[in-house]
Amino acid sequence: MLCRGSLRRATRFGRLTFHRAYGDGTDARARFLKPLDARHSDGWDILNNPLWNKGTAFTWAERERLGLRGLLPAQVRTIEEQVSNFVTQLSAMDDQPLMQNLMLQDLQARNETLYHRVLVDHVEKMAPLVYTPTVGAACQHFSSRYQRSRGMFFTPEDAGEMGVMMRNWPRSETQVVVVTDGSRILGLGDLGANGMGIPIGKLALYCAVGGIAPHRVLPVMLDFGTNNESLLRDPLYRGYRQPRALVDEFVRAVFSRFPNVLLQWEDFSSDKASNLLAKYRENYLCFNDDIQGTGATVLAGVLGALRLQRRPPEDIRSLRVAVVGAGSAGIGVAQALHMAMQQAGLSAKAAYSNFYILDQDGLQSKARFSSLTEEQMAFARADLPDGMALEEVVEQAKPHLPHLVLGLSGKRGTISEAAIRKMAAAVERPIVMPLSNPTSSCEITPEEAYEWSDGRAIVATGSPFEPVALADGSIKTPSQCNNMYIFPGIGLGASICQSETIPDSMLYESAVALSRVTDEEEMARGSVFPSISKIRQCSHAVAVACIRHAHDLGIAKASPGCDHNRGETYEQWVTRKMYYPEYAPIYTSHTR
């Protein structure tokens, strides 16, 4: 029976009132699911609301109570049976990942609970379909395959109206907003409004992996134009047909409507990403996954690689790092590792000397001071010639050659055979991390990295790759260094405790927490990241670390026990707050 206190605490969603169902998936079925009040909606309305539709899982009692009799096939299915049936249909198209992505989009538009349950129960299979690498192709076909609106779009025509427009979004409890302008989508460049697939895909992972309920997320496209001539000529292109030129107004509109929301910047071009983050991060709860999320994820992978070699985390101060790709993501990774080296005892100056940053013109040196950003200049070399190729850096830097090479260039082949062979000749376990997405943009394949290092390389990639059979018959499985290990947990933790900001030290603690989730069995297989099947455990650990650190810094506005659950630990608080996709009973107010 639903008590009056529970009814008073119900959360409003337009005409629908619902009760939250949380749980971390480890023992989700033991959780009490509070009934959902559909408030005078008829059966047809409920079937066409993806947040409440259960399809054939509506019980006979619900069908009678909600006016659904005759609107559904007679057979009642459990959510587990529905998941199995859908996955069977999906698997019949394993050779067509883009079509599988479209099938998942269609399911999401019909039944959000089932969609997220499919993702949770089959995350290893589904994550590459809803996000990298398949999301790249989905974005390229966004306009031609557009079927249903999801999220919000803002254009220059909306100047002066964004605050009012934000009120059009019906879900007042929005917790996470992911926004892009489409100017740098993965390694595909400027896709304009077609890049909307990225916020949608990110938020699918926020829900399934991070435990943010689907009614609490909002994907946004700042459609301020595109510089991509082929899109401007495409008659099917859905976006604003002007070159890209209003972010302040948008930010004010978001935080006026949702004061405690987390705003995630996503896939902005390098010339904008760092500036936007620097401008807003001290005054708003915001986060750039390409810069900060990538940096924290790579740091966790590097700490995992040290664990794999039975070396203490403090040994990060002795690592020398080559970063191929000097955009916002590459510099963000370098900054995260630089901070970790300082945490391990190095001075800032000494830590900078451990880095070699390369762009399309080769090694960045101080001779190029007039064309480098302030962040790039901090890492620029004064002891080596400008413009050196990676293999030349490895040769000339002896005895201080890199132990670790990171690929963030978005270009296939930028980590060469010569460079890897020279590294492997001097380093027992070279660390090779080609991180660019999609797979076609990966700087080096795992097979190449293993072959050129005689099987000794520790490899982690941005996109998933199949295991590699070596010449000696052994099998190597590359780790996947994907931001989905980090960003859902950061968003979950920061939003639960209502952190005022996300400081760099919180990102560091997130990386440390993630690195500790990998167990001995996984490390024995050569993995520096946990199995994707443990991804919700990773999000839980990261969220707890974020919350604990926010309280240590005094920037958390909410605490365990603030909602009548006194005596909770941080771990219990996060567990209770994590959404788990499961059907709850539904009633309408006039049938109570």
Residue 377's CB is within 10 A of a number of other CB atoms, namely 14
Quick one: CA dihedral 141, 145, 149, 150, positive or negative?
Answer: negative
Point out the catalytic residue in the list 54, 115, 131, 422: 131
Specify the pairing of strand 16-18 against strand 11-13.
antiparallel
Residue 555, φ and ψ in degrees, nearest 5: -110, 10
SS3 204: helix
Q: Residues forming the annotated binding site for a divalent metal cation?
A: 266-267, 290
- Calculate the alpha carbon distances from 335 to 201, 554, 587 in Å: 27, 24, 52
Nearest to 209, CA basis, from 427, 548, 556, 536: 536
Helices (H), 380-416: 390-396
Rg (CA), the chain: 24
Triad 313, 24, 47: Cα angle to 5°:
140
> How far, in Å, CA of 108 to CA of 131, rounded?
14
Active site annotation includes 580: no
Q: Is 304 left (phi over 0), alpha (psi -120 to 50) or beta?
A: alpha
Residue 35's CB is within 10 A of a number of other CB atoms, namely 17
Residues facing 586 on adjacent strands:
36
Q: Residues forming the annotated binding site for (S)-malate?
A: 184, 437, 482
The per-type count for the chain, helices as H runs and strands as E runs, is 25, 18
Q: Residues forming the annotated binding site?
A: 184, 266-267, 290, 437, 482
Nearest to 362, CA basis, from 338, 378, 380: 380
Q: How do the residues of the chain divide into helix, strand and coil, expressed in percent and rounded to 5?
A: 45, 10, 40
Q: What is the DSSP letter of 500?
A: S
527: its two tokens: 């993995």
Cα Dmax for the chain = 79
Nearest to 293, CA basis, from 76, 514, 86: 514
- Calculate the alpha carbon distances from 253 to 30, 142, 160, 266 in Å: 40, 26, 10, 18
> How far, in Å, CA of 511 to CA of 505, rounded?
10
- Burial class from Cβ neighbours inside 10 Å (0-12, 13-18, 19+) for residue 458 reads buried
383: its two tokens: 């002891």
Point out the catalytic residue in the list 202, 422, 476, 534: 202
107: its two tokens: 């399911």
Active site annotation includes 202: yes
SS3 217: strand
- Burial class from Cβ neighbours inside 10 Å (0-12, 13-18, 19+) for residue 483 reads buried
Known catalytic residues are 131, 202
